[in-house]
Copies of this chain bind each other. A is one copy, B any other.
Amino acid sequence: MSAIADVARLAGVSKSTASRALSGHGYVSAQTRARVEDAAAQIGYVVSSNASSLVTGHTRNVGVVIPYITRWFFSQVLEGIQSSLIAAGYDLTLYRLSEDETQRRRIFDYFLVRKRVDAVIAVGIELSPQEVTMLHSLGKPIVGIGGEVEGISTISIDDVETARRATEHLLSLGHTRIVHLGGDPDEQMDFRVHSQRLTGVTQAMDAAGVTDGMHFQPAPFSIPGGYATGLSLLADPRSRPTAIVAGCDEIAIGVIIAARQLGIQIPSQLSVIGIDGHDLAEMFALTTLEQFPSRQGIRAVELVMERMLDAADSPARAITMPVHLTVRRSTTAPPKPSAG
């Protein structure tokens, strides 16, 4: 309702002085500033961010593009981004990217373009080269989380390395009959995470010279997915592996529940290792490689801020975040073969 002109009138100064007093730019005497601030408080004045953005060109608003809101990893990342942004005085505008190609294009061609956001953080999304150039042509920083994209700064863990370490943990305990229950590499949505983790497992197995049999089975990236796949995989005691590398903690937890239901003791009869550091991992005593998604979100905001303030033109960086092996009670040495 009240505009800066009202504040200026009440304080007995010009619009420009009122603006300087409130925004802190330029010279204003201490007593004038106080008078203007009093006047503003008195009539409950708040800047119109539209008018302000219109002339300054920046909005103090960051767009976040994300494919899922309800999945653990993504909601954690979002939470990290949100808390960092609000602390820095920025708004967060949320765009959920569905599989629908039309809607995706709409978000990029329409929503992100209207000078509403100062920067874009893309989580778990493989941007096309056109999308990258489009966003770049707006002169806005872009940061990706969860995979490397040509031409933009990204934050991610080394998925190959992480999966390899998980596998090596089992190998070092003496396991050789290891199955990787991971995401289907043919699924487009998850940004090569699936295929990279599979690669890591394969590398570790190859390096250890373990080459017999089928070591990979696809599973949906969820607890029910791991449960259903686990039930069928573990049903036959003769073909059963001694250890499982799950593509994510959700799958691992599903497998543990399935194993319990089948009466399989963990870890004495079956070791399970996950990747993620899920909230439920501790409760299931799950050994896992923790990646700290909310920290990734925080780091992304730092990067975005850095590019907005100082180093707008510095080259794109690919930052690899550390992971941490947390050993709990879901992994141990394989059972002695009772009858060979």
Contacts and interface: CB of A to CB of B under 8 A. Distances in A.
B96 A94 contact: no
Interface stretch (A85-93, A142-150, A158-166, A324-332): A85-93
Interface stretch (A29-37, A76-84, A170-178): A76-84
Given A59-B50, A282-B224, A96 B111 contact: no
A223 to B, nearest CB: 6
Given A91-B116, A114-B46, A223-B280, A83 B96 contact: yes
A39 B296 CA distance: 42
A221 interface: no
Contacts of A224: 279-280, 282-283
B69 A116 contact: no
A41 to B, nearest CB: 11
Contacts of A61: 93, 116
A214 interface: no
Given A93-B93, A283-B227, A70 B59 contact: no
A240 interface: no
A47 to B, nearest CB: 6
Contact of A115 (B50, B79, B95, B254): B50
Nearest to A53: B50
Contacts of A312: none
A61 B110 CA distance: 14
29 contacts: A46-B110, A48-B54, A49-B114, A50-B51, A50-B54, A61-B116, A69-B69, A69-B75, A69-B78, A70-B72, A70-B75, A82-B94, A83-B96, A86-B96, A86-B107, A86-B111, A91-B93, A91-B95, A91-B111, A91-B116, A92-B94, A92-B95, A93-B93, A224-B279, A224-B282, A224-B283, A227-B283, A257-B257, A257-B283
Interface of A: 46-51, 53-54, 59, 61, 69-70, 72, 75-76, 78-79, 82-83, 86, 91-96, 98, 103, 107, 110-111, 113-116, 222-224, 227, 254, 257, 260-261, 279-280, 282-283
